[in-house]
Structure 1
Amino acid sequence: MQRRNLLTAALTAGVTLPSWAQDRFPSRPITLICPWPAGGSSDAVMRAFGDSLARQLGVPVVVENRPGAGGTLGASLMLTAKPDGYTLTQLPLGVYRLPHMQKMPFDPVRDLQHVIGLTGYTFGIVCTMDAPFRNLKEMVTWARARPGQLIYGHTGTGTTPHLAFEEFAHKAGFTTQDVPYKGTAEIMQAILGGHVPVMSGTPEFVPHVKAGKLRFLATLGRERNRAFPDVPTVKESGWDTVSDSPFGIGAPRGTDPAVVRTLHDAFKRTLEDPHLLETLDRYYQPVLYMSTEDYGRYAQRTFEAERLTIERMGLARKG
C-alpha cells in the first residue's frame, strides 16, 4: 500500500520514478530495422529473427525495411531513436566500411551500442564451366601468367565481394579487371550469359552450380560452409583472406545496460530456435555468435581494418 501511494504521489508531482516503479522492459512492441529491401534474403533472415525474438520476449517485434545507403540507414536512425531498447537495427559490415569511403552521419564505434553478434553472409567465387581453370589454384596460376587479364564481376564497388576478391588477388600476386554490377540479379545474368568468366558474390549462384552451369571454386569464410563440404576456403587454399561478413544487432548509444543484457539474452536464445536455424541454413548463413563485449571489440577492430583496406585500394574519401 505504501509503495502504491508513493507511485501515485510521484505521478501527480511529475517526479522521475525509481527503477522499480518504471515499466518492466519490454512492455510494448519493439521495432527491428532491416536496412535492405523487402523480399530478399536479408529481409527473410531479419523477419525470422524478429519472429523468434517476439516469442522470447512476449511482445510484438515489427520489422521495418529501410533500404539504401549501402545498408547503413538503420545505423543512421539510431542517432535519433530513444535509447530505450525499443528501436534496434541490423548492423551489416558496410556500417564499418562506408564511413571511410563517404561522409556518414554516424561513427560506428562511438555512436552505437553493439548488442550481440548473430550470423553472417557466405560469399563465394565461381566461374563458368568453360573457364580455362578448374580450381582456385589453377585460376591463380593462369592469372599470374596473364597480368590484368582475369575479368571478374562483383556486386558493386566497395561491397564485400569486391573488396574480399581484391584482397585475395593482392595476397596471391595477380591483377584483375573488375566489373561492378548493381546487384545479385544483374551479376547472375552476366556470368550465365558469358559476359564475365568469374564472379565473387553471395550464394544465389548455388542452383546454377547444382545444375552444372557454374563451377564453385572457393568460399571466403573462415571455415568450410557445412552446406558445401567439398568446396575449399580461400584461406585453406593458401591465401589468408577471410570474409565471414558477420552482422548483429545495434541499439542507440546510452541504452540502459540492463536493457542491453535483456536483449542480448533473448537474441542469444533465438540462435537455439529450430525455425530460425532452418532459415539461416536456407540462406547458407552460419551462426557467428558474439557477446555484447566481444561484439563491441569486433566493431573497433573492423572499423580500423576496413580503413586500412579502403586506403590501400585508393577508395578513401577526401577530407
Structure 2
Amino acid sequence: MLIKNRFRFAHFVIAALLPLAAMAADYPTKPVTIVVGYSAGGGVDAMARIMADKLPALLGQPVVVENRPSVGAIVGTSYVSKAKPDGYTLIMGAPGPMIFNHAVYAKLPYTPQDFTPISFVSDSPLMLLVNANNPAKTVQDLVNQSKQNPDKSNYAASSASFQLITELFNKKTGAKFTHIPYKGANDSVMAVMSGDVSMALADAGPASVGLQSGRVKVLAVTSAKRMPDYPNVPTLAELGIDLKVSLWIGLLAPAGTPPEIVKQLQDSVAKVVAMPDVQKRMTTMSVIPMSNTSEEFAKVIASEIPLWKQLAADNNIKAN
C-alpha cells in the first residue's frame, strides 16, 4: 500500500508539472502583461513601457503595461505574487515594494519568496543635494555643520526608502540630520531649493531640475562609480563613507515560473537594454541601463532586506 501511495504521489507531481513544462516549450503564445505598482508617468512606469515597446520583436507577442497604483505599490505587487507562474504576468519592481516595504511594514500580503527575479532594467544612484548658498563645499563640511547645529539640521525624504537611506548616511558619518517628510521626490528637491531643509538624497531625475536652475548643488553621489553626466562629483565611497545605494528597477515573475521562461525573459531584457536607442532614452532620463542574471538579482534582494530591517528597527521607522 505504501509503495502504491508513493507511486500515486509521484504520478500526481509529474502530472502537475507537465502543463508548465509544455508552456515553457511554447512560450509565449499570447500577450504578456507587465504590472506597475505606480501611476503612469513615473520612473518605474517609464521602464515598463520601454520594455513593452521593444520586447514584442523578441518574444513574438504583444507586451502590455497595466498600472495598479497604491501606497507602497502594495496592490500591484500582491496581485502579481498570486498570479499564475506561467510568464504571462510580470511586475516591474523597485526597492520600495521589494525591499523597503519589508523593513517598515509589520505585515504585507506578499513575501520575498513569492517572486522569481528576472533581471535589472536600470539603475539610478542618488545625489546628496544642498542649497546652492550653503557654505558647505564637501560632505565633511556638511556633516560638521549638522554636528555643530543639530537643532537646525534636517533632511527631506518622500518615502521610507529615502528616509532609511538618509538614516544610514547619518549612521555612517555621525551626522545629526532630522527627518522632515514630504509627499514626493520633486517636493524634497524643492525643499532644498527653498532652504526649508538642509539636505536631501534624491535620484538624478528630480535632482536635475534644481541643478539646472543653479539653486542646488550636489556634494556626492551614492553610486559605486562617478556618474558620466557629473564626472567632477565624487562618490561617497571615494570620500571614505561606506554607503553604496541605488534605486534599481527590474523585472520579476511569480515564484514557480519555469526556469526556461525566466531565462528567455532574462536574455530578452539584456538584448533590449543593450540597444543603442534604448540606452540613449534611459540616459536622457538620468538612469543607467543595466541588466543582470536572475541569481544576481536574487542576491541583491536577499542581502538588502536584513540591512534595512535592522536600520528601521534601530530608528523606529514604521509605515503609517
State whether TM-score is above 0.5.
Answer: yes
Matched with 2:181 is: 180
Matched with 1:168 is: 169
User: Are residues 129 and 111 of structure 1, via their aligned partners in 2, closer, same or farther at CA, if it must alter by over 3 Å?
Assistant: same
The one of 87, 97, 101 equivalent to 1:98 is 101
Q: Which amino acid aligns with 1:266?
A: S
Q: Is the 8 A contact 2:47 2:121 kept in 1?
A: no
Note the aligned Cα RMSD (angstroms).
2.2
Question: Cα deviation per residue 1:10-38 (whole Å; 9 max; x = unaligned)?
Answer: xxxxxx77956987111111001122211
Question: Cα deviation per residue 1:263-315 (whole Å; 9 max; x = unaligned)?
Answer: 11111111111222122212222234321112222221122222222222222
Give the Cα–Cα distance (whole angstroms) in 2 for the partners of residues 215 and 88 of structure 1.
38
User: Are residues 19 and 123 of structure 1, via their aligned partners in 2, closer, same or farther at CA, if it must alter by over 3 Å?
Assistant: closer
Question: Structure 1 vs Structure 2: percent identity of aligned residues?
Answer: 25
Matched with 2:211 is: 209
Secondary structure, counterpart of 1:31 in structure 2: strand
Give the Cα–Cα distance (whole angstroms) in 2 for the partners of residues 309 and 280 of structure 1.
31
User: Are residues 194 and 250 of structure 1, via their aligned partners in 2, closer, same or farther at CA, if it must alter by over 3 Å?
Assistant: same
Q: Is the 8 A contact 1:171 1:240 kept in 2?
A: yes
* Equivalent residue runs for 1:97-176 within 5 Å: 97-102=100-105, 103-108=107-112, 110-156=113-159, 158-159=160-161, 161-176=162-177
Secondary structure, counterpart of 1:124 in structure 2: strand
TM-score by length of structure 1 reads: 0.87
Give the Cα–Cα distance (whole angstroms) in 2 for the partners of residues 275 and 48 of structure 1.
10
Larger helix fraction of residues: 2
Give the Cα–Cα distance (whole angstroms) in 1 for the partners of residues 19 and 231 of structure 2.
56
Matched with 2:257 is: 255
Give the Cα–Cα distance (whole angstroms) in 2 for the partners of residues 29 and 304 of structure 1.
36
Matched with 2:276 is: 274
Give 5+ residue unaligned stretches, structure 1: 1-15
User: Are residues 251 and 19 of structure 1, via their aligned partners in 2, closer, same or farther at CA, if it must alter by over 3 Å?
Assistant: closer
Q: Is the 8 A contact 1:75 1:112 kept in 2?
A: no
Q: Is the 8 A contact 2:150 2:176 kept in 1?
A: yes
Aligned residue pairs total 300
User: Are residues 25 and 238 of structure 1, via their aligned partners in 2, closer, same or farther at CA, if it must alter by over 3 Å?
Assistant: same
Matched with 1:31 is: 33
Q: Is the 8 A contact 1:222 1:244 kept in 2?
A: no
Give 5+ residue unaligned stretches, structure 2: 1-17
Secondary structure, counterpart of 1:47 in structure 2: helix
Give the Cα–Cα distance (whole angstroms) in 2 for the partners of residues 301 and 237 of structure 1.
24
User: Are residues 226 and 19 of structure 1, via their aligned partners in 2, closer, same or farther at CA, if it must alter by over 3 Å?
Assistant: same
Q: Is the 8 A contact 1:126 1:199 kept in 2?
A: yes
Matched with 2:48 is: 46
Give the Cα–Cα distance (whole angstroms) in 1 for the partners of residues 83 and 154 of structure 2.
44
Question: Cα deviation per residue 1:7-64 (whole Å; 9 max; x = unaligned)?
Answer: xxxxxxxxx7795698711111100112221122332222112212122212111011
Q: Is the 8 A contact 1:143 1:150 kept in 2?
A: yes
